[in-house]
């Protein structure tokens, strides 16, 4: 059966390319998706599925019920774009100024629609239910996943799988990660309030710029001196703004940054350490402060047994030399919220192809990927769904 389904997926390739390119030409920003979810919902309805719209806000959920009883599998794709000008010279370049699909979400969506079409054609042979999650606002904080969960998108689901195309991995390769797959993301804003004055009289001021500079240095010691070297973490200050003139000591400084961790205990420790270091550094300078520390999505934890399932399916489909185990990413992904509710696994597929100039990093104005990566996502999804359902049959 799997060979027939894969052959059918291949037959849909040209159609899926057109769908992907339509989304690429008409991108919509996070929480502003209107036409994209409409098109997704229409496609799923035409397959005879039960479809829910406006799930958690702008999400779409398609439900495919097999003719026979069994467990429920969820598959997820995201469909939001980024506020970046598309600088590629291709026929499917974004038509929306300042907005483009620079992370592959258009391809994820098209690939999952292909899976829905293939599996809907054999529903009479399927055991159980497949839930197609088309998520909005993955790129924002907070992301759309948690709102879709709150709106019941995982009700009755036993397992979930997700995928991401990567311009850093050659097309034709599949990469899985067992255990931690992405970091948790936290963001912080620290305001330091001092006493401004003339640059010639620093003794009459409380300099927030100097205090902030010392604070930036002190924050870097959290990872180097407080985190176990066997536990990965990053504390990054990405923005430091204070003052406008060369001879004026300002009265305020603003520091912004991000924290990335895997282990929840390390995550909690860094937050506490950051607040303590900010307090003591500012107090030592005579300054006051405010700190806003926002926790975004947790780290992805791939269930070991489900990750082995994905890896085995991919090896059977493409050969062992096309599948590898990778290192966890320091980037964040709100797919992690789904895995807080049900077990699952999130894997990567290659989209890099120098001949197509598909080598630029994600979130770059020249970003693109080899569209053949859709077939790798789609076939792994199909194979994994059937494998899980057969496990249920055997168990």
Confidence class for position 394, pLDDT limits 50, 70, 90: very low
pLDDT over 60 at 221, yes or no: yes
Residue 391: what pLDDT?
81
Residue 1: what pLDDT?
87
Residues 225 and 174 in one domain: no
Q: Please count the structural domains in the chain.
A: 2
The Cα–Cα gap between 242 and 196 comes to 11
CATH number at residue 169: 3.40.630.10
The Cα–Cα gap between 124 and 251 comes to 70
| Cβ proximity of 27 and 151 under 8 Å | no
pLDDT over 90 at 109, yes or no: yes
Catalytic positions, written as ranges: 80, 138
Q: Give the mean pLDDT of the chain.
A: 96
Confidence class for position 226, pLDDT limits 50, 70, 90: very high
Mean pLDDT of 129-135: 98
* Among 295, 313, 339, residue at a domain's last position: 295
Residues 272 and 203 in one domain: yes
Q: What angle do CA 258, 262, 266 make, to 5 degrees?
A: 80
> How far separated are the first and last CA of the chain, in Å rounded?
20
Residues 28 and 116 in one domain: yes
- Burial (CB count within 10 angstroms: exposed 0-12, middle 13-18, buried 19+), residue 297: buried
Residues 254 and 289 in one domain: yes
Residues 141 and 157 in one domain: yes
At which residue do the structure tokens 């010691």 appear?
Answer: 221
| Cβ proximity of 36 and 99 under 8 Å | no
| Cβ proximity of 183 and 334 under 8 Å | no
Residues 162 and 194 in one domain: no
Residues 241 and 351 in one domain: no
* Among 264, 295, 326, residue at a domain's last position: 295
Residues 239 and 359 in one domain: no
pLDDT over 80 at 392, yes or no: no
pLDDT over 80 at 395, yes or no: no
CATH number at residue 212: 3.30.70.360
CA distances from 375 to 39, 335, 372 (A): 21, 21, 6
**In this predicted model, what pLDDT tens digit does every residue of 330-383 receive, in sequence order?**
889 999 999 999 999 999 999 999 999 999 999 999 999 999 999 999 999 999
Residues 58 and 196 in one domain: no
Residue 34: what pLDDT?
98
Residues 80 and 34 in one domain: yes
Beta-carbon contacts of residue 324 (< 8 Å; ≥ 6 apart): 173, 174, 175, 176
pLDDT over 80 at 45, yes or no: yes
The boundaries of the domain holding residue 241 are 184-295
Residues 109 and 208 in one domain: no
Q: For residue 252, list its beta bridge partners.
A: 193
Residues 43 and 124 in one domain: yes
C-beta neighbour count of 171 within 10 angstroms: 22
Mean pLDDT of 155-168: 98
* Among 262, 295, 328, residue at a domain's last position: 295
Mean pLDDT of 139-166: 97
| Cβ proximity of 381 and 346 under 8 Å | no
**In this predicted model, what pLDDT tens digit does every residue of 294-334 receive, in sequence order?**
998 999 999 999 999 999 999 999 999 999 999 998 889 99
């Amino acid at each position: 059966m799997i060979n027939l389904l894969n052959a059918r997926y291949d037959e849909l390739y040209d159609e899926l390319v057109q769908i992907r390119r339509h989304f690429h030409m008409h991108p919509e920003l996070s929480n502003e998706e209107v036409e994209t979810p409409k098109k997704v919902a229409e496609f799923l309805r035409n397959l005879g599925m039960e479809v829910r719209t406006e799930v958690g806000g702008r999400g779409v959920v398609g439900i495919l019920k097999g003719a026979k009883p069994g467990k429920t599998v969820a598959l997820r794709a995201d469909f939001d774009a980024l506020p970046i000008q598309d600088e590629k010279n291709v026929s499917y370049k974004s038509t929306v100024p300042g907005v483009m699909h620079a992370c592959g979400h258009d391809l994820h969506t098209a690939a999952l629609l292909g899976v829905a079409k293939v599996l809907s054609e054999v529903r009479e042979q399927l055991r159980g239910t497949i839930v197609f999650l088309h998520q909005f606002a993955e790129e924002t904080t907070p992301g759309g996943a948690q709102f879709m969960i709150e709106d019941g998108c995982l009700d009755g689901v036993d397992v979930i799988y997700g995928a991401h195309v990567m311009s850093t991995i050659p097309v034709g390769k599949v990469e899985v990660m067992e255990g931690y797959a992405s970091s948790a993301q936290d963001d912080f804003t620290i305001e330091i309030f001092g006493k401004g004055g003339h640059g010639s009289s620093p003794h009459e001021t409380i300099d927030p710029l100097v205090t902030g500079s010392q604070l930036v240095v002190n924050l870097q010691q959290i990872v180097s001196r407080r985190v176990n070297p066997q536990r990965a973490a990053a504390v990054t200050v990405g923005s430091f703004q204070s003052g406008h003139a060369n001879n004026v000591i300002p009265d305020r400084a603003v520091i912004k940054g991000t924290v990335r961790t895997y282990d929840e205990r390390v995550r909690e420790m860094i937050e506490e350490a950051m607040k303590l270091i900010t307090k003591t550094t500012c107090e030592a300078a005579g300054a006051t402060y405010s700190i806003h520390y926002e926790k975004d999505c947790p780290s992805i934890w791939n269930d070991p047994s489900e990750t082995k399932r994905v890896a085995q399916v991919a090896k059977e489909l493409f050969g062992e030399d096309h599948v590898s185990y990778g290192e966890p990413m320091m980037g964040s992904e709100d797919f992690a919220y789904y895995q807080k509710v049900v077990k699952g696994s999130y894997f990567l597929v290659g989209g890099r192809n120098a001949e197509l100039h598909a080598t630029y990093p994600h979130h770059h104005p020249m970003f693109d990927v080899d569209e053949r990566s859709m077939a790798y996502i789609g076939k792994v999804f199909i194979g994994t769904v059937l494998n899980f359902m057969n496990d249920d049959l055997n168990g």
